[in-house]
Amino acid sequence: MPEGLSAGEVGKEIAEHNEHFASDADTDHGDRWLSILEALLLSLVAVFAAYSGYAAAKWSTESSVTLAKASAARTKANRADLEALVIRTGDSASFNALFTAFTAGNVNAERLAAKRLRPGYRPAFNAWLATDPAHNLTLRPGRPTCRNM
């Protein structure tokens, strides 16, 4: 049995080695492109994620600020509504004093009470007086401060 390889066997081995080497080179080449693609994807995604996080933070701040403004406006609305309620109550009280004097037939007290009416209330009171409330029986019950009169 001869030692070593024959020329034909050596040629065959070399050919196989070459094929194997070529295949490895192809694999390395493909892996390199895949790595480049991964790096590209990672860098792109990092930039987009940073932008998205930044925009989310900005919109979140915008939301908080706008909701705080809404809350402040609601507080102002409540305060104005309370002031309106106080004014309406005051107008009702002054009207009651005048009406009591009117029903009692006390002209001086009636004049005094009419003088003490709030200036903003006077147009409504005058309009109410113009309906002749003492004799006009078709009037609905209520005061000049009522919205449904």
Partner 1 sequence: MPQYVIPQETASRTHDAQADAAFNKGADAGATADKYIRATVFLATVLFLVGISGHFRIRVARLGLVSVGGLMLVYALIQLLALPGPPS
**Binding-site member from 60, 89, 103, 106 for partner 1 (CB under 8 A):** 60
Residue 53 dihedral angles phi and psi, to the nearest 5°:
-65, -40
**DSSP code of residue 147:** T
Q: Calculate the CA dihedral of residues 81, 82, 86, 92 and round it to 10 degrees.
A: 50
In the complex, least distance from residue 75 CB atom to partner 1, rounded to whole angstroms: 8
Give per-residue burial for 109-134: e unless 16+ CB within 10 Å, then b: ebeebbeebeeebeebbeebeeeeee
Residues constituting the chain: 149
Q: How far is the CB of 20 from partner 1 (least distance, A)?
A: 17
Pick the binder of partner 1 from 11, 18, 36, 66 (CB under 8 A). 66
3-state secondary structure of 63: helix
Q: Which of 11, 21, 53, 116 binds partner 1 (CB under 8 A)?
A: 53
Which of 96, 106 has the CB closer to partner 1?
96
Residue 119: enclosing H or E segment and its boundaries?
A: none
Give the other-Cβ count within 10 Å of 58's Cβ.
10
> Taking contact as CB under 8 A, which single stretch among the options 1-9, 59-67, 100-108, 109-117 is the one that binds partner 1?
59-67
Here's the x/- map for partner 1, 85-114, by CB under 8 A: it reads as --xx--x-----------------------
In the bound state with partner 1, the residue whose beta carbon lies nearer, of 15 and 80, is 80
DSSP state of 140: P
Footprint of partner 1 on this chain (CB under 8 A)? 27, 30-31, 34-35, 37-38, 41-42, 44-46, 48-49, 51-60, 62-67, 69-71, 73-74, 76-78, 80-81, 83-84, 87-88, 91, 120-121, 123-124, 126-128, 144-147, 149
